[in-house]
Structure 1
Amino acid sequence: MRSFDWDLLQSFLAIARAGTLTEAGRRQGVDHSTLSRRLAGLEGALQTKLFERGSSGYALTADGLALLKHAETIESTMFSIQSDVGAARTEASGVVRIGAPDGFGTAILSPAIGRLQRDNPDLEIQLVALPRSFSTSRREADIAIGLSHPDRGRLHVRRLTDYELGVYGAAEDAARWARLTDPQDFTRVPFISYIDDLIFTPELDYLPAVAKGIRPRITSSNLLAQKEAAAAGAGLCVLPCFLADGDARLVRVLAGRVALTRTFFMVVHSDTRDLARVRLTADFIAEEVRRQSDCFLPQRG
């Protein structure tokens, strides 16, 4: 067996977690041909095949699964070394990736994150604001904002805040919405919501909690698209108050009758939580949420 270095194992882990060379290369910041060469080098050094290549991507072989366990142990050790020894423990530098739902990432983090970077010029911040969940165990993000408390894994979880959601419609149609006196009346007007089979977490399945029988006529996987459709007069929509209350194009409907509550959690993997760049960014996010606390629960403020 020939010797090999940590870079080859990092590339192996990226492919195993992403499932494709293209996605793994994007996460590592290298092109897929470089990853392909690294994988070939590792397979040559170990004299075994680590992946089965198929039309849907790369699947681990039995030897690949065995290596994955050892590689993740080595990765944990490397993170521990960075946390305990040297500059990574005290200096906030390098890349930190934040994975967040589209509404929170756009309305809360995007306007604030520049302050963190200006105060820490050696920090490179990647904000991935998408309607999906993020796994810190698979290194999809260093810090993940989610709507549920994960029940497994070596994770450090911080409850950020509860937040309120209400039903909103176009302000220009306020007279129409004023004629609605009960949540069941929502079944008689156009409604906007998520595409059922693309709801990435059950916490976003709002409509049964609002009224029975609501059938949305316009659906989107993206919360910001739903908001824009509602503001343009396409129908009513359940929206977070922190996203909708500051938009003059929108008006809340039956505010005293319909108020849902969900929770944001911040998740960091135990291996990386003590790295300065991760610790500083996580603390910044928590403080920003505290600073904007009134917008998350407006009826309690």
Structure 2
Amino acid sequence: MEPQWDDMKVFLAVARESSLSGAGRILKMDPATVGRRVARFETALKTSLFVKSPQGYALSAAGDRLLAHAEAAELAMRAGEEALTGPSDTLSGQIRIGAPDGCANYILPQVCSAISQDNPDLDIQIVALPRLINLSRREADMAVTVSAPTAGKLLVQKITDYHLHLAASRYYLRDVHPIETLENLRDHKIIGYIPDMIFDQELDYLSDLGIERVQLASNSVSVQIKMLAEGGALGVVHDFALPSHRPLRKILKEAFSLTRSFYLVRHQGDQRSERLNRFADALSKGIRAEVERLEGLT
């Protein structure tokens, strides 16, 4: 029995989802059919590609070696399809973007909605995770990150800078003594990240203030900002999030300001895909424009 390309696609889906049910949702197959296809592919290759455990399907050593070749074949197939069909005025298919939840909550909805309006046959998926997106496992086609990765065969493009300031609810500021210096912060509760869950050093904002204790913490930016809006504490907030939370006010703007950056990260091989190139260009331009627009409102 010769290996079939369709079985390679099943292998890739199971490798990325680590389960038959997850792969089935992507492939629009029932899990039992996915399992039979995996078994058929393993029989054709005369090797086991997965190790089953209570946590799901993990790649075996052979499966891990095959993964890079399968992804290269997938890219070649996509490039071939694009070469045959020629460029289209609009994009189609499915594209998945991974992003930290601050960007995913406050920037990407507007940007992706605009891209979707211009490309009605395109399905855009936003994966909002408070951790690094694993592109090697194809958790996403591309990712927005807050630092530029240095390992792996990746295309890394700086999108734009963004800014952060200390902020608090106007109701809270109304009821406390004026906060005039950074030393005054020690008299207030602080909202921030759970220290041992900060997945990128660029997110360790409070260390710049010498703050060690975080009385109210979350690994989610949106949760932190909602706690700030409730009052009773101070925290560091993205300027682009402030227009969505009118009760929040910047404080100590001259004494404390942070500049961070968004980067677009893609597989190096994806540069052969005109479809992904066009989407990446539209996404980057949209993020730059939206950050500038929202920060201008503050």
Determine the structure 2 residue equivalent to 1:282: 280
Determine the structure 2 residue equivalent to 1:244: 242
Provide structure 2 residue ranges, at least 5 long, that are not aligned to the other structure: none
Aligned length: 297
8 Å CA contact retained: 1:162, 1:262: yes
Determine the structure 2 residue equivalent to 1:114: 113
Determine the structure 2 residue equivalent to 1:193: 192
Provide structure 1 residue ranges, at least 5 long, that are not aligned to the other structure: none
Determine the structure 2 residue equivalent to 1:260: 258
What is the distance in 2 between the residues matched to 1:284 and 1:44? 43
What is the distance in 1 between the residues matched to 2:229 and 2:261? 25
Q: Which moved more, 1:178-187 or 1:137-146?
A: 178-187
Return structure 1 stretches of 4+ with deviation > 4 angstroms: 26-31, 295-299
How far off its partner does 1:149 sit? 0.9
* Aligned-partner residue type, residue 283 of structure 1: D
Q: How does 1:47-86 map to 2 (within 5 A)?
A: 47-83=46-82, 85-86=83-84
8 Å CA contact retained: 2:165, 2:238: yes
* Aligned-partner residue type, residue 93 of structure 1: S
Root-mean-square deviation (Å): 2.5
8 Å CA contact retained: 2:241, 2:294: no
8 Å CA contact retained: 2:165, 2:251: yes
What is the distance in 2 between the residues matched to 1:88 and 1:21? 34
What is the distance in 1 between the residues matched to 2:236 and 2:32? 45
Instruction: Provide TM-score, normalisation by structure 1.
Output: 0.88
Determine the structure 2 residue equivalent to 1:228: 226
* Aligned-partner residue type, residue 247 of structure 2: R
More helix by share: 2
Determine the structure 2 residue equivalent to 1:207: 206
**CA 1:30–1:217: 2 relative to 1, 3 Å:** farther
* Aligned-partner residue type, residue 168 of structure 2: G
What is the distance in 1 between the residues matched to 2:194 and 2:32? 36
Determine the structure 2 residue equivalent to 1:13: 12
What is the distance in 2 between the residues matched to 1:93 and 1:223? 31
Q: Give the 3-state SS of the residue equivalent to 1:292 in structure 2.
A: helix
**CA 1:169–1:33: 2 relative to 1, 3 Å:** farther
What is the distance in 1 between the residues matched to 2:202 and 2:57? 31
Q: Give the 3-state SS of the residue equivalent to 2:271 in structure 1.
A: coil
Q: Identity of paired residues, percent?
A: 35
How far off its partner does 1:141 sit? 1.2
How far off its partner does 1:228 sit? 0.6
Q: Give the 3-state SS of the residue equivalent to 1:48 in structure 2.
A: coil
What's the CA shift string for 1:212-266, capped at 9, x where partnerless? 2341111111111110110011411111100124522101111111111111001
